[in-house]
Structure 1
Amino acid sequence: MSDRPEGPGQDGAEDGTAWSGRAGAQAFAAVDAETDWLLGYPFVFRALSRRIGTGQVLVDYGCGPGKVADQAARRLGARVLGVDTSPEMLALARGSATAVDGFHLVEDGRVTDLPDGCADAVMCNHVLASLPTREALLGVFSEIRRLVRPGALFVLLTTDPACSGTEYASLRIGDPGEVYGPGDELTVRLRRTDGSWQEMPNHAWPVGLLPALLERAGFRAASQHRPTVAEALTVADPDFAAGRPWSAERARPPLVITTASAA
Protein backbone atom coordinates (compact mmCIF):
# COMPACT_ATOMS: atom_id res chain seq x y z
CA MET A 1 0.00 0.00 0.00
CA SER A 2 1.20 3.51 -0.74
CA ASP A 3 0.05 7.04 -1.44
CA ARG A 4 -0.85 5.80 -4.89
CA PRO A 5 -2.43 2.43 -5.73
CA GLU A 6 -0.86 -0.66 -7.19
CA GLY A 7 -1.08 -1.78 -10.80
CA PRO A 8 0.16 -4.24 -13.43
CA GLY A 9 3.83 -5.14 -13.46
CA GLN A 10 6.18 -2.63 -15.05
CA ASP A 11 9.69 -1.40 -14.36
CA GLY A 12 10.93 -4.75 -13.17
CA ALA A 13 8.60 -5.17 -10.22
CA GLU A 14 9.32 -8.54 -8.72
CA ASP A 15 5.82 -9.80 -7.99
CA GLY A 16 3.72 -8.34 -10.80
CA THR A 17 2.48 -5.07 -9.30
CA ALA A 18 3.76 -1.70 -10.42
CA TRP A 19 4.68 -0.46 -6.95
CA SER A 20 5.88 -3.81 -5.57
CA GLY A 21 9.47 -4.79 -4.95
CA ARG A 22 12.52 -2.54 -5.05
CA ALA A 23 12.06 -1.47 -8.68
CA GLY A 24 8.40 -0.72 -8.13
CA ALA A 25 9.16 1.44 -5.11
CA GLN A 26 11.72 3.38 -7.10
CA ALA A 27 9.21 3.85 -9.94
CA PHE A 28 6.66 5.21 -7.51
CA ALA A 29 9.16 7.67 -6.10
CA ALA A 30 9.45 9.16 -9.61
CA VAL A 31 5.72 10.00 -9.90
CA ASP A 32 5.26 13.71 -10.57
CA ALA A 33 2.04 14.35 -8.53
CA GLU A 34 1.70 18.03 -9.49
CA THR A 35 -2.09 17.97 -9.23
CA ASP A 36 -1.81 16.45 -5.76
CA TRP A 37 0.63 19.14 -4.61
CA LEU A 38 -1.79 21.79 -5.86
CA LEU A 39 -5.22 20.50 -4.78
CA GLY A 40 -4.44 17.68 -2.35
CA TYR A 41 -1.57 17.60 0.11
CA PRO A 42 -1.55 21.31 1.07
CA PHE A 43 -5.22 20.98 2.07
CA VAL A 44 -4.49 17.80 4.03
CA PHE A 45 -1.80 19.69 5.93
CA ARG A 46 -4.15 22.62 6.52
CA ALA A 47 -6.83 20.36 7.99
CA LEU A 48 -4.28 18.68 10.24
CA SER A 49 -2.75 21.97 11.39
CA ARG A 50 -6.07 22.97 12.93
CA ARG A 51 -6.08 19.93 15.24
CA ILE A 52 -2.51 18.75 15.75
CA GLY A 53 0.61 20.47 17.04
CA THR A 54 4.25 20.09 17.94
CA GLY A 55 5.14 16.73 19.43
CA GLN A 56 1.78 15.09 18.82
CA VAL A 57 1.65 11.80 16.91
CA LEU A 58 0.49 11.75 13.28
CA VAL A 59 0.29 8.46 11.39
CA ASP A 60 0.58 8.46 7.60
CA TYR A 61 -1.32 5.29 6.67
CA GLY A 62 0.00 4.19 3.27
CA CYS A 63 3.08 6.41 3.35
CA GLY A 64 4.77 4.99 0.24
CA PRO A 65 8.27 6.43 -0.25
CA GLY A 66 7.64 8.95 2.52
CA LYS A 67 7.59 12.26 0.64
CA VAL A 68 4.28 13.42 2.09
CA ALA A 69 5.07 12.14 5.58
CA ASP A 70 8.37 14.01 5.52
CA GLN A 71 6.70 17.25 4.49
CA ALA A 72 4.02 16.82 7.15
CA ALA A 73 6.67 16.43 9.85
CA ARG A 74 8.50 19.55 8.69
CA ARG A 75 5.39 21.70 8.28
CA LEU A 76 3.39 20.60 11.31
CA GLY A 77 6.12 19.83 13.82
CA ALA A 78 4.32 16.60 14.65
CA ARG A 79 5.94 13.27 15.41
CA VAL A 80 5.08 11.48 12.17
CA LEU A 81 4.98 7.69 11.84
CA GLY A 82 4.82 6.17 8.36
CA VAL A 83 3.09 2.84 7.78
CA ASP A 84 2.78 0.79 4.60
CA THR A 85 2.16 -2.76 3.38
CA SER A 86 5.33 -2.70 1.24
CA PRO A 87 8.69 -3.40 2.94
CA GLU A 88 10.45 -1.95 -0.11
CA MET A 89 8.50 1.30 0.14
CA LEU A 90 9.41 1.56 3.80
CA ALA A 91 13.07 0.91 3.03
CA LEU A 92 13.02 3.71 0.46
CA ALA A 93 11.26 6.03 2.91
CA ARG A 94 13.78 5.33 5.66
CA GLY A 95 16.55 6.48 3.34
CA SER A 96 14.98 9.77 2.29
CA ALA A 97 12.21 10.89 4.68
CA THR A 98 14.60 12.04 7.38
CA ALA A 99 12.05 14.09 9.32
CA VAL A 100 9.80 11.07 9.92
CA ASP A 101 10.11 9.58 13.40
CA GLY A 102 9.66 5.92 12.43
CA PHE A 103 8.16 3.41 10.03
CA HIS A 104 5.94 0.37 10.55
CA LEU A 105 4.77 -2.46 8.30
CA VAL A 106 1.12 -3.38 7.80
CA GLU A 107 0.75 -7.16 8.01
CA ASP A 108 -2.58 -9.00 7.73
CA GLY A 109 -4.39 -5.69 8.00
CA ARG A 110 -2.72 -4.61 11.25
CA VAL A 111 0.09 -2.11 11.80
CA THR A 112 2.94 -3.87 13.57
CA ASP A 113 4.27 -2.48 16.86
CA LEU A 114 1.72 0.33 17.21
CA PRO A 115 -0.68 0.04 20.15
CA ASP A 116 -4.33 1.03 20.35
CA GLY A 117 -4.96 4.75 20.70
CA CYS A 118 -1.38 5.80 20.01
CA ALA A 119 -2.09 8.55 17.46
CA ASP A 120 -3.49 12.07 17.73
CA ALA A 121 -4.31 12.12 14.01
CA VAL A 122 -4.07 10.00 10.87
CA MET A 123 -3.80 10.96 7.22
CA CYS A 124 -4.43 8.49 4.39
CA ASN A 125 -3.64 9.66 0.86
CA HIS A 126 -4.65 7.82 -2.32
CA VAL A 127 -4.89 4.38 -0.73
CA LEU A 128 -8.56 3.51 -1.17
CA ALA A 129 -8.39 3.11 -4.96
CA SER A 130 -6.16 0.06 -4.50
CA LEU A 131 -8.87 -1.72 -2.46
CA PRO A 132 -11.31 -3.99 -4.34
CA THR A 133 -14.28 -4.24 -1.93
CA ARG A 134 -16.25 -2.25 0.63
CA GLU A 135 -15.13 -4.78 3.21
CA ALA A 136 -11.51 -3.93 2.42
CA LEU A 137 -12.23 -0.21 2.84
CA LEU A 138 -13.96 -0.89 6.13
CA GLY A 139 -10.99 -2.98 7.26
CA VAL A 140 -8.59 -0.08 6.62
CA PHE A 141 -10.89 2.40 8.38
CA SER A 142 -11.28 0.05 11.34
CA GLU A 143 -7.52 -0.38 11.73
CA ILE A 144 -7.06 3.39 11.58
CA ARG A 145 -9.75 3.77 14.24
CA ARG A 146 -7.81 1.33 16.42
CA LEU A 147 -4.72 3.50 16.14
CA VAL A 148 -6.29 6.80 17.19
CA ARG A 149 -7.47 8.11 20.53
CA PRO A 150 -11.11 9.29 20.92
CA GLY A 151 -11.61 12.67 19.31
CA ALA A 152 -8.61 12.30 17.02
CA LEU A 153 -8.78 13.64 13.47
CA PHE A 154 -8.74 11.44 10.37
CA VAL A 155 -7.96 13.16 7.04
CA LEU A 156 -8.51 11.21 3.84
CA LEU A 157 -7.44 12.30 0.34
CA THR A 158 -9.09 10.60 -2.64
CA THR A 159 -9.67 11.11 -6.34
CA ASP A 160 -13.25 11.38 -7.55
CA PRO A 161 -14.09 8.73 -10.16
CA ALA A 162 -16.87 11.00 -11.42
CA CYS A 163 -14.06 13.09 -12.97
CA SER A 164 -13.13 10.26 -15.32
CA GLY A 165 -11.49 10.98 -18.64
CA THR A 166 -10.21 14.48 -17.88
CA GLU A 167 -6.51 15.08 -18.57
CA TYR A 168 -5.04 16.81 -15.55
CA ALA A 169 -1.47 18.03 -15.15
CA SER A 170 -0.27 14.79 -13.59
CA LEU A 171 -3.10 12.25 -13.84
CA ARG A 172 -6.14 10.97 -15.66
CA ILE A 173 -8.80 8.98 -13.81
CA GLY A 174 -10.47 6.37 -15.98
CA ASP A 175 -11.39 6.66 -19.64
CA PRO A 176 -13.33 9.41 -21.43
CA GLY A 177 -17.06 8.80 -21.56
CA GLU A 178 -17.05 6.00 -19.00
CA VAL A 179 -19.18 5.93 -15.85
CA TYR A 180 -17.92 3.84 -12.95
CA GLY A 181 -19.89 2.28 -10.12
CA PRO A 182 -18.62 1.39 -6.64
CA GLY A 183 -15.67 -0.97 -6.84
CA ASP A 184 -15.53 -0.98 -10.64
CA GLU A 185 -12.09 -1.32 -12.15
CA LEU A 186 -10.73 1.74 -13.91
CA THR A 187 -7.36 2.71 -15.31
CA VAL A 188 -5.43 5.64 -13.88
CA ARG A 189 -2.56 7.36 -15.70
CA LEU A 190 0.12 9.05 -13.61
CA ARG A 191 2.77 11.37 -14.99
CA ARG A 192 6.39 10.80 -14.01
CA THR A 193 9.08 13.39 -13.47
CA ASP A 194 10.67 12.47 -16.82
CA GLY A 195 7.42 13.31 -18.63
CA SER A 196 6.41 9.71 -19.37
CA TRP A 197 3.14 8.20 -18.18
CA GLN A 198 2.34 5.00 -16.31
CA GLU A 199 -1.01 3.22 -16.36
CA MET A 200 -2.42 0.97 -13.67
CA PRO A 201 -5.79 -0.49 -12.67
CA ASN A 202 -7.62 1.11 -9.76
CA HIS A 203 -11.04 0.70 -8.21
CA ALA A 204 -13.70 3.40 -8.33
CA TRP A 205 -15.02 4.48 -4.93
CA PRO A 206 -17.49 7.37 -5.23
CA VAL A 207 -16.70 9.90 -2.53
CA GLY A 208 -20.30 9.93 -1.37
CA LEU A 209 -19.92 6.40 0.01
CA LEU A 210 -17.14 7.27 2.42
CA PRO A 211 -18.99 9.01 5.30
CA ALA A 212 -21.24 6.01 5.96
CA LEU A 213 -18.29 3.61 5.94
CA LEU A 214 -16.38 5.87 8.31
CA GLU A 215 -19.34 5.89 10.68
CA ARG A 216 -19.44 2.08 10.63
CA ALA A 217 -15.75 2.04 11.56
CA GLY A 218 -16.22 4.30 14.57
CA PHE A 219 -15.82 7.82 13.21
CA ARG A 220 -18.30 10.68 13.38
CA ALA A 221 -18.96 14.15 11.95
CA ALA A 222 -17.56 13.32 8.52
CA SER A 223 -17.35 16.25 6.12
CA GLN A 224 -16.01 16.63 2.59
CA HIS A 225 -14.32 19.43 0.70
CA ARG A 226 -13.30 19.69 -2.95
CA PRO A 227 -10.35 22.13 -3.16
CA THR A 228 -10.25 24.55 -6.08
CA VAL A 229 -7.39 26.27 -7.86
CA ALA A 230 -8.58 29.63 -6.51
CA GLU A 231 -8.18 28.28 -2.97
CA ALA A 232 -4.85 26.69 -3.80
CA LEU A 233 -3.40 30.08 -4.69
CA THR A 234 -3.52 30.87 -0.96
CA VAL A 235 -2.91 27.37 0.47
CA ALA A 236 -0.32 25.71 -1.79
CA ASP A 237 3.15 27.04 -2.52
CA PRO A 238 2.36 30.39 -4.21
CA ASP A 239 5.06 30.19 -6.89
CA PHE A 240 4.08 26.62 -7.76
CA ALA A 241 0.36 27.42 -7.83
CA ALA A 242 0.87 30.47 -10.05
CA GLY A 243 3.37 28.75 -12.32
CA ARG A 244 0.95 27.19 -14.80
CA PRO A 245 -2.67 27.69 -15.97
CA TRP A 246 -4.12 24.48 -14.44
CA SER A 247 -6.95 24.61 -16.98
CA ALA A 248 -8.41 21.16 -16.30
CA GLU A 249 -8.03 21.51 -12.53
CA ARG A 250 -9.92 24.81 -12.69
CA ALA A 251 -12.72 23.37 -14.80
CA ARG A 252 -13.26 20.14 -12.86
CA PRO A 253 -11.29 19.73 -9.61
CA PRO A 254 -10.68 15.98 -9.15
CA LEU A 255 -9.60 15.64 -5.52
CA VAL A 256 -11.72 15.43 -2.36
CA ILE A 257 -10.66 15.84 1.26
CA THR A 258 -12.76 13.87 3.75
CA THR A 259 -12.33 14.57 7.46
CA ALA A 260 -13.86 12.78 10.44
CA SER A 261 -13.28 12.46 14.18
CA ALA A 262 -12.88 9.25 16.16
CA ALA A 263 -15.94 8.61 18.29
Structure 2
Amino acid sequence: MSNGSEEDIEEGGAWSGPAGAEAFAAVEAATDWLLGYPFVFEALSGRIGEDEVLVDYGCGPGRVADRAARVLGARVLGVDTSAEMLALARSTAPAVAEFHLVRDGRVTGLPDGCADAVMCNHVLASLATEDAVLGVFGEIRRLLRQGAPLVLLSTDPACTGLEYASLRVGTAGVSYGPGEEMPVRLRRTDGSWQEVRNHAWPVDRLPFLLESAGFGGVGQRRPTVDEARDLADPGLVERYAWTAERAEPPLVITSAVAA
Protein backbone atom coordinates (compact mmCIF):
# COMPACT_ATOMS: atom_id res chain seq x y z
CA MET A 1 0.00 0.00 0.00
CA SER A 2 1.07 3.59 -0.62
CA ASN A 3 2.05 5.64 2.39
CA GLY A 4 0.23 8.60 0.86
CA SER A 5 3.27 10.68 0.00
CA GLU A 6 2.93 13.20 -2.84
CA GLU A 7 5.28 11.08 -4.98
CA ASP A 8 3.07 8.03 -4.49
CA ILE A 9 -0.04 10.00 -5.38
CA GLU A 10 1.52 11.38 -8.55
CA GLU A 11 2.48 7.87 -9.61
CA GLY A 12 -1.07 6.67 -9.11
CA GLY A 13 -0.91 5.25 -5.59
CA ALA A 14 -3.93 4.49 -3.42
CA TRP A 15 -5.93 7.29 -1.82
CA SER A 16 -4.18 6.73 1.51
CA GLY A 17 -2.61 8.98 4.10
CA PRO A 18 -3.12 12.75 4.46
CA ALA A 19 -1.76 13.53 0.97
CA GLY A 20 -4.06 10.94 -0.56
CA ALA A 21 -7.10 12.44 1.16
CA GLU A 22 -6.17 15.93 0.00
CA ALA A 23 -5.58 14.72 -3.58
CA PHE A 24 -8.95 12.97 -3.67
CA ALA A 25 -10.69 16.10 -2.38
CA ALA A 26 -9.12 18.11 -5.23
CA VAL A 27 -10.68 15.93 -7.96
CA GLU A 28 -13.26 17.88 -9.98
CA ALA A 29 -15.59 14.91 -10.70
CA ALA A 30 -17.69 16.89 -13.20
CA THR A 31 -18.86 13.76 -15.05
CA ASP A 32 -19.89 12.20 -11.73
CA TRP A 33 -21.87 15.30 -10.74
CA LEU A 34 -23.62 15.26 -14.12
CA LEU A 35 -24.31 11.57 -14.74
CA GLY A 36 -23.69 9.94 -11.37
CA TYR A 37 -24.58 11.45 -8.03
CA PRO A 38 -27.85 13.19 -9.06
CA PHE A 39 -29.13 9.84 -10.31
CA VAL A 40 -28.05 8.11 -7.09
CA PHE A 41 -30.10 10.67 -5.17
CA GLU A 42 -33.02 10.18 -7.56
CA ALA A 43 -32.90 6.39 -7.04
CA LEU A 44 -33.02 6.92 -3.27
CA SER A 45 -35.69 9.62 -3.32
CA GLY A 46 -39.03 8.22 -2.22
CA ARG A 47 -37.35 5.12 -0.82
CA ILE A 48 -35.92 6.78 2.26
CA GLY A 49 -37.84 9.14 4.48
CA GLU A 50 -36.80 12.26 6.32
CA ASP A 51 -34.54 11.47 9.28
CA GLU A 52 -34.22 7.82 8.25
CA VAL A 53 -30.65 6.46 8.16
CA LEU A 54 -28.68 6.54 4.91
CA VAL A 55 -25.16 5.10 5.03
CA ASP A 56 -22.61 6.38 2.51
CA TYR A 57 -20.28 3.39 2.32
CA GLY A 58 -16.91 4.75 1.18
CA CYS A 59 -17.75 8.39 1.83
CA GLY A 60 -14.25 9.74 1.14
CA PRO A 61 -14.01 13.48 1.89
CA GLY A 62 -17.77 13.67 2.44
CA ARG A 63 -18.95 15.92 -0.40
CA VAL A 64 -21.50 13.43 -1.73
CA ALA A 65 -22.72 12.47 1.75
CA ASP A 66 -23.17 16.13 2.62
CA ARG A 67 -25.18 16.80 -0.56
CA ALA A 68 -27.29 13.69 0.03
CA ALA A 69 -28.22 14.87 3.52
CA ARG A 70 -29.33 18.22 2.14
CA VAL A 71 -31.20 16.83 -0.88
CA LEU A 72 -32.88 13.83 0.74
CA GLY A 73 -33.35 15.06 4.30
CA ALA A 74 -32.01 11.75 5.57
CA ARG A 75 -29.77 11.19 8.58
CA VAL A 76 -26.56 10.40 6.69
CA LEU A 77 -23.75 8.36 8.21
CA GLY A 78 -20.41 8.40 6.42
CA VAL A 79 -18.15 5.36 6.63
CA ASP A 80 -14.71 4.78 5.13
CA THR A 81 -11.60 2.63 5.50
CA SER A 82 -9.40 5.74 5.71
CA ALA A 83 -9.13 7.65 8.97
CA GLU A 84 -7.61 10.56 7.02
CA MET A 85 -10.62 10.71 4.71
CA LEU A 86 -12.95 10.72 7.70
CA ALA A 87 -10.96 13.51 9.35
CA LEU A 88 -11.29 15.59 6.19
CA ALA A 89 -15.01 14.79 5.91
CA ARG A 90 -15.65 15.84 9.51
CA SER A 91 -14.24 19.28 8.70
CA THR A 92 -15.98 19.77 5.35
CA ALA A 93 -19.34 17.94 5.52
CA PRO A 94 -21.39 19.56 8.31
CA ALA A 95 -24.70 18.03 7.18
CA VAL A 96 -23.45 14.48 7.84
CA ALA A 97 -24.62 13.21 11.22
CA GLU A 98 -21.86 10.72 12.07
CA PHE A 99 -18.69 9.16 10.71
CA HIS A 100 -17.50 5.58 11.28
CA LEU A 101 -14.28 3.79 10.39
CA VAL A 102 -14.28 0.46 8.54
CA ARG A 103 -11.80 -1.80 10.33
CA ASP A 104 -11.03 -5.36 9.17
CA GLY A 105 -14.00 -5.23 6.82
CA ARG A 106 -16.56 -4.20 9.45
CA VAL A 107 -18.02 -0.78 10.15
CA THR A 108 -17.22 0.10 13.75
CA GLY A 109 -20.07 1.27 15.94
CA LEU A 110 -22.99 0.33 13.68
CA PRO A 111 -25.24 -2.65 14.52
CA ASP A 112 -26.94 -5.10 12.16
CA GLY A 113 -29.95 -3.74 10.30
CA CYS A 114 -29.39 -0.13 11.33
CA ALA A 115 -29.65 1.40 7.86
CA ASP A 116 -32.75 2.29 5.86
CA ALA A 117 -30.64 2.68 2.71
CA VAL A 118 -27.00 2.55 1.57
CA MET A 119 -25.25 4.30 -1.28
CA CYS A 120 -21.84 3.13 -2.43
CA ASN A 121 -20.03 5.28 -5.01
CA HIS A 122 -16.92 4.10 -6.88
CA VAL A 123 -15.78 1.87 -4.02
CA LEU A 124 -15.37 -1.21 -6.21
CA ALA A 125 -12.56 0.48 -8.13
CA SER A 126 -10.31 -0.01 -5.08
CA LEU A 127 -11.01 -3.74 -4.77
CA ALA A 128 -8.75 -6.25 -6.52
CA THR A 129 -10.59 -9.55 -5.98
CA GLU A 130 -14.08 -10.96 -6.14
CA ASP A 131 -13.78 -12.00 -2.50
CA ALA A 132 -13.10 -8.36 -1.59
CA VAL A 133 -16.17 -7.21 -3.51
CA LEU A 134 -18.31 -9.87 -1.83
CA GLY A 135 -16.91 -8.79 1.52
CA VAL A 136 -18.03 -5.19 0.95
CA PHE A 137 -21.44 -6.29 -0.31
CA GLY A 138 -21.79 -8.62 2.68
CA GLU A 139 -21.03 -5.84 5.15
CA ILE A 140 -23.49 -3.54 3.40
CA ARG A 141 -26.11 -6.30 3.61
CA ARG A 142 -25.39 -6.58 7.36
CA LEU A 143 -26.07 -2.89 7.84
CA LEU A 144 -29.33 -2.85 5.86
CA ARG A 145 -32.68 -3.84 7.26
CA GLN A 146 -34.54 -6.37 5.14
CA GLY A 147 -36.18 -4.79 2.11
CA ALA A 148 -33.99 -1.69 2.22
CA PRO A 149 -32.27 -0.39 -0.95
CA LEU A 150 -28.64 -0.26 -2.01
CA VAL A 151 -27.67 2.13 -4.81
CA LEU A 152 -24.25 1.56 -6.35
CA LEU A 153 -22.41 3.94 -8.70
CA SER A 154 -19.61 2.58 -10.87
CA THR A 155 -17.65 3.40 -14.00
CA ASP A 156 -17.96 1.04 -16.95
CA PRO A 157 -14.40 -0.24 -17.67
CA ALA A 158 -15.43 -0.82 -21.30
CA CYS A 159 -15.58 2.96 -21.91
CA THR A 160 -11.95 3.34 -22.98
CA GLY A 161 -10.50 5.76 -25.49
CA LEU A 162 -12.99 8.58 -24.93
CA GLU A 163 -12.20 12.07 -23.61
CA TYR A 164 -14.80 12.62 -20.93
CA ALA A 165 -14.92 16.05 -19.31
CA SER A 166 -13.24 14.94 -16.09
CA LEU A 167 -12.37 11.30 -16.73
CA ARG A 168 -10.22 9.02 -18.88
CA VAL A 169 -10.93 5.30 -18.53
CA GLY A 170 -8.21 2.70 -19.08
CA THR A 171 -6.19 2.40 -22.28
CA ALA A 172 -7.88 2.67 -25.67
CA GLY A 173 -8.46 -0.73 -27.26
CA VAL A 174 -7.72 -2.71 -24.10
CA SER A 175 -10.36 -4.97 -22.52
CA TYR A 176 -10.33 -5.38 -18.75
CA GLY A 177 -11.60 -8.41 -16.86
CA PRO A 178 -12.95 -8.52 -13.29
CA GLY A 179 -10.45 -7.07 -10.82
CA GLU A 180 -7.76 -6.32 -13.39
CA GLU A 181 -5.67 -3.23 -12.78
CA MET A 182 -6.76 -0.34 -14.98
CA PRO A 183 -5.28 3.17 -15.22
CA VAL A 184 -7.76 6.01 -14.76
CA ARG A 185 -7.09 9.73 -15.12
CA LEU A 186 -9.16 12.26 -13.19
CA ARG A 187 -9.28 16.01 -13.78
CA ARG A 188 -8.38 18.14 -10.77
CA THR A 189 -10.11 21.42 -9.95
CA ASP A 190 -6.99 23.30 -11.14
CA GLY A 191 -7.25 21.70 -14.61
CA SER A 192 -4.37 19.26 -14.19
CA TRP A 193 -4.86 15.50 -14.29
CA GLN A 194 -4.41 12.85 -11.60
CA GLU A 195 -3.60 9.28 -12.67
CA VAL A 196 -4.61 6.43 -10.37
CA ARG A 197 -4.62 2.67 -10.60
CA ASN A 198 -8.14 1.34 -10.30
CA HIS A 199 -9.55 -2.16 -10.60
CA ALA A 200 -12.01 -2.94 -13.36
CA TRP A 201 -15.39 -4.46 -12.52
CA PRO A 202 -17.47 -5.06 -15.66
CA VAL A 203 -20.96 -3.78 -14.90
CA ASP A 204 -22.63 -6.96 -16.17
CA ARG A 205 -20.85 -8.91 -13.41
CA LEU A 206 -22.36 -6.86 -10.59
CA PRO A 207 -25.88 -8.40 -10.51
CA PHE A 208 -24.44 -11.88 -9.91
CA LEU A 209 -22.16 -10.64 -7.14
CA LEU A 210 -24.97 -8.76 -5.44
CA GLU A 211 -27.28 -11.75 -5.56
CA SER A 212 -24.47 -13.91 -4.12
CA ALA A 213 -24.24 -11.47 -1.19
CA GLY A 214 -27.93 -11.60 -0.27
CA PHE A 215 -29.53 -8.98 -2.50
CA GLY A 216 -32.46 -9.24 -4.87
CA GLY A 217 -34.37 -7.04 -7.29
CA VAL A 218 -31.18 -5.97 -9.06
CA GLY A 219 -31.56 -3.41 -11.85
CA GLN A 220 -29.18 -1.21 -13.79
CA ARG A 221 -29.41 2.18 -15.50
CA ARG A 222 -26.97 4.15 -17.62
CA PRO A 223 -27.86 7.87 -17.24
CA THR A 224 -27.66 10.17 -20.26
CA VAL A 225 -26.87 13.86 -20.68
CA ASP A 226 -30.43 14.58 -21.79
CA GLU A 227 -31.79 12.99 -18.61
CA ALA A 228 -29.30 14.96 -16.52
CA ARG A 229 -30.77 18.29 -17.64
CA ASP A 230 -33.65 17.74 -15.23
CA LEU A 231 -31.48 16.64 -12.30
CA ALA A 232 -27.97 18.13 -12.38
CA ASP A 233 -26.93 21.68 -11.54
CA PRO A 234 -27.81 23.90 -14.54
CA GLY A 235 -24.45 25.63 -14.41
CA LEU A 236 -22.67 22.28 -14.68
CA VAL A 237 -24.89 21.18 -17.58
CA GLU A 238 -23.78 24.25 -19.54
CA ARG A 239 -20.10 24.14 -18.50
CA TYR A 240 -18.95 21.55 -21.03
CA ALA A 241 -20.12 20.22 -24.40
CA TRP A 242 -20.24 16.70 -22.91
CA THR A 243 -19.44 15.23 -26.33
CA ALA A 244 -18.02 11.92 -25.09
CA GLU A 245 -20.68 11.62 -22.38
CA ARG A 246 -23.35 11.87 -25.10
CA ALA A 247 -21.60 9.34 -27.33
CA GLU A 248 -21.05 6.68 -24.66
CA PRO A 249 -22.17 7.48 -21.10
CA PRO A 250 -19.54 5.97 -18.78
CA LEU A 251 -21.43 5.63 -15.50
CA VAL A 252 -23.86 2.93 -14.40
CA ILE A 253 -26.31 2.99 -11.49
CA THR A 254 -26.97 -0.46 -10.03
CA SER A 255 -29.85 -0.77 -7.56
CA ALA A 256 -30.71 -3.74 -5.36
CA VAL A 257 -32.76 -4.63 -2.30
CA ALA A 258 -31.62 -6.45 0.84
CA ALA A 259 -33.34 -9.84 0.63
Task: Provide the TM-score with structure 2 as the length reference.
Answer: 0.96
* CA 1:145–1:46: 2 relative to 1, 3 Å: same
8 Å contact 1:13–1:23 — kept in the other structure?
A: no
Q: How many angstroms does 1:192 deviate by?
A: 0.3
Instruction: Give the secondary structure class of the aligned counterpart of 1:234.
Output: coil
Question: C-alpha distance in 2, partners of 1:38/1:152?
Answer: 26
Aligned length: 257
8 Å contact 1:7–1:201 — kept in the other structure?
A: no
8 Å contact 1:10–1:18 — kept in the other structure?
A: no
1:237 counterpart (214, 230, 233): 233
Question: C-alpha distance in 2, partners of 1:141/1:240?
Answer: 32
**Correspondence list, 1:112-191, <5 A:** 112-191=108-187
8 Å contact 2:138–2:214 — kept in the other structure?
A: yes
Question: C-alpha distance in 2, partners of 1:115/1:58?
Answer: 14
Aligned partner letter, 1:173: V
Question: C-alpha distance in 2, partners of 1:33/1:86?
Answer: 20
2:198 counterpart (194, 197, 202): 202
8 Å contact 1:13–1:20 — kept in the other structure?
A: no
Q: How many angstroms does 1:235 deviate by?
A: 1.4
Question: C-alpha distance in 2, partners of 1:188/1:153?
Answer: 29
Q: How many angstroms does 1:181 deviate by?
A: 1.4
Question: C-alpha distance in 1, partners of 2:99/2:116?
Answer: 16
1:32-68 per-residue CA deviation (whole Å, 9 max, x = no partner) reads: 0000000000000000112012100000000000000
State whether structure 2 residue 254 is matched by structure 1 residue 219: no
- Runs of 4+ in structure 1 off by over 4 angstroms are 6-10
* CA 1:7–1:48: 2 relative to 1, 3 Å: farther
Aligned partner letter, 2:162: T
8 Å contact 2:4–2:18 — kept in the other structure?
A: no
Gaps of 5+ in 2: none
Deviates more, 1:17-26 or 1:55-64: 17-26
8 Å contact 1:80–1:102 — kept in the other structure?
A: yes
8 Å contact 1:211–1:222 — kept in the other structure?
A: yes
The residue that corresponds to 2:45 in the other structure is: 49
* CA 1:147–1:238: 2 relative to 1, 3 Å: same
Question: C-alpha distance in 1, partners of 2:200/2:236?
Answer: 29
Q: How many angstroms does 1:243 deviate by?
A: 2.9
Question: C-alpha distance in 1, partners of 2:7/2:89?
Answer: 19
Question: C-alpha distance in 2, partners of 1:151/1:238?
Answer: 34
The residue that corresponds to 1:11 in the other structure is: 6
State whether structure 2 residue 67 is matched by structure 1 residue 76: no
Instruction: Give the secondary structure class of the aligned counterpart of 1:257.
Output: strand
Aligned partner letter, 1:149: R
Question: C-alpha distance in 1, partners of 2:91/2:165?
Answer: 28
Gaps of 5+ in 1: 1-5
Question: C-alpha distance in 2, partners of 1:162/1:249?
Answer: 14
State whether structure 2 residue 91 is matched by structure 1 residue 95: yes
The residue that corresponds to 1:24 in the other structure is: 20
Q: How many angstroms does 1:13 deviate by?
A: 6.0
Q: How many angstroms does 1:244 deviate by?
A: 2.2
Instruction: Give the secondary structure class of the aligned counterpart of 1:70.
Output: helix
8 Å contact 1:81–1:101 — kept in the other structure?
A: yes
CA RMSD of aligned residues (A): 1.6
8 Å contact 1:13–1:21 — kept in the other structure?
A: no
Question: C-alpha distance in 1, partners of 2:19/2:152?
Answer: 27
